[in-house]
Chains A and B, each alone.
Chain A
Amino acid sequence: MGEHAHPTGTAWIWKIFWLLLAITAVEVALGIVKPEFLLVQFAGTSLLNLIFIGLTLVKAAYIVMYFMHLKFEETFLQWTIYLPVLILIPYLTFILIAEGAQIYAA
């Protein structure tokens, strides 16, 4: 528990920046090229879309943990913020996808 060690200097900020930039570049390149072998259907959508969503979640995690300093806050505060978001948003997504599939089939 307690406040976690906060990085000093600015090198870590630029490291995150290059990482976010690299992930965005990969996303844009994949979005323009749309490689044939990634367009296979998987879990109700294409593999490419799942890759996009995965990369987005990685980007989001870095922004929240480092830019928004959440990784260095009290453990209690971290979970106060993570839990509602991690429970409610997947739940909302799940019910709308399930409902959307029903309506499309009807």
Chain B
Amino acid sequence: MRAEYGKLMMWFFLISDALTFSGFLTAYGFMRFKFEQSWPVAEAVFTHFPGVEGDQPLLYVALMTFILIMSSVTMVLAVNAGHEKKQGAVAWWMLATIIGGAIFLGSQAWEWYHFIQGDKGAIELADTRILKVADADGHVLSFSQMVHGEAGHASNHEEEFNQSDVFAAFKANPNWKLIEPGKAGAVYEHAEAMALLGQGAEIVQGANMHRNEYGHKLFANFFFFITGFHGFHVFSGVVFNFILFYNVLLGTYERRGHYGMVEKIGLYWHFVDLVWVFVFTFFYLV
């Protein structure tokens, strides 16, 4: 078969990498299925958009998806220009691809920051279950809204709350209840909720590997692991793209007579976009 050795090997690497990511995503689905009641609904977790107050589900991650698709397009344009041996055009499109990748990485850092910092806060029971505080209509309340009342924000905005203030506010409002974050999670009316709190409970703000305010602790672990592993791929891709860009400027591929290397790294870069398409669906949409 007439396929170039390097290209074939890149494809084989991508097949194995695709299987690795499938392993992660199916494991995520498996655990989510098992802990359905305490598994957070993604739209309730990723609600921030830079400079906008209030809940904006999906918009930010949609923007990140757009940026990555765009940088995939500039990569195809670079490969295309390489076939036509246009050194200047390859350089410009490579530069655009590097910038797209860098913006994506920055966006991901921003999202991690807000995920770790926390949004509304939650209460962890003695049996490690995470419960959200909701008003009579079932709207989830932030600690800020609980403690500051009308002056509070829908997000805690990095304010650290005192456990006793949060519990006192809950006790003083008999129509508030505790709800499990999952799709079919349990609902505890006020009297029942007070009994649960009496058995020992703590407030949780933000997320780490041990616990998170959004729901089951595995949710945060999978979030860090899958988006982190994908982000590492993007970072590696940006480094490869930079090396390519540098060599295009030096005229390495002009002297070699072909831009095959741009094509091979291009395959890797599209694969990173491809994986994100699946992460977007299974982490944020489904």
Checking A13, A16, A31, A74 against B80 with a beta-carbon cut-off of 8 angstroms, the contacting residue is: A13
Provide the main secondary structure of the chain B interface. helix
A53 adjacent to chain B (CB < 8 Å): yes
| A32-B2 Cα distance, complex, nearest whole Å | 47
Say whether A63 contacts B270, CB under 8 Å. Answer: yes
Report yes or no: A88 in contact with B2, Cβ–Cβ below 8 A.
no
A89 contact from B22, B58, B266, B277, Cβ within 8 A: B22
Contact B33 A85 (CB under 8 A): no
What's the minimum C-beta distance from A89 to chain B, rounded to whole angstroms? 5
Given contacts A73-B3, A104-B36, contact A63 B284 (CB under 8 A): no
Which of A17, A74, A93 is B22 in contact with, Cβ under 8 Å? A93
Q: Which residues of B contact A81 (CB under 8 A)?
A: 11, 15
Q: How far is the CA of A27 from the CA of B62 in the complex (A)?
A: 9
From A13, A21, A60, A100, contact of B30 by CB (8 A): A100
A97 touches B29 (CB 8 A): yes
Given A32-B58, A92-B22: A20 touches B69 (CB 8 Å cut-off): yes
Q: Give complex CA distance A9, B65 in Å.
A: 26
Chain B CB within 8 A of A64 CB: yes
Indicate if the CB atoms of A56 and B15 lie closer than 8 Å: no
> Which residues of the other chain, B, contact A10 by a CB distance below 8 angstroms?
77, 80
A5 in the interface (beta carbon within 8 A) = no
**A100 and B80 contact, Cβ closer than 8 Å, known pairs A21-B69, A84-B15, A89-B22:** no
**Alpha-carbon separation in the docked complex, A13 to B278 (Å):** 21
Chain B 57-72 interface 0/1 with A at a Cβ cutoff of 8 Å (1 = within):
1110010011001101
Q: Hey, which chain A residues are within 8 Å of B36, CB to CB?
A: 104
Which of A24, A52, A67, A93 contacts B72 (CB under 8 A)? A67
Nearest chain A CB to B218 CB, angstrom units: 13
CA distance A103 to B34 in the complex (A): 7
Specify the chain A residue showing the minimal Cβ separation from B19: A88
Across the A-B interface, the 4 shortest Cβ-Cβ residue pairs: A100-B33, A56-B281, A28-B62, A96-B26
Enumerate 27 A-B pairs (CB-CB under 8 Å) in ascending A order: A10-B77, A13-B77, A13-B80, A16-B73, A17-B73, A25-B62, A27-B281, A31-B57, A45-B286, A52-B285, A52-B286, A56-B278, A56-B281, A60-B277, A68-B266, A76-B1, A76-B3, A81-B15, A84-B15, A85-B15, A89-B22, A92-B19, A92-B22, A92-B23, A93-B22, A99-B30, A100-B29
Starting from the known contacts A84-B15, A89-B22, 13 additional A-B residue pairs (CB-CB under 8 Å) come to A13-B80, A14-B73, A24-B66, A31-B57, A52-B281, A74-B2, A74-B3, A76-B3, A77-B11, A81-B11, A85-B18, A96-B29, A99-B30
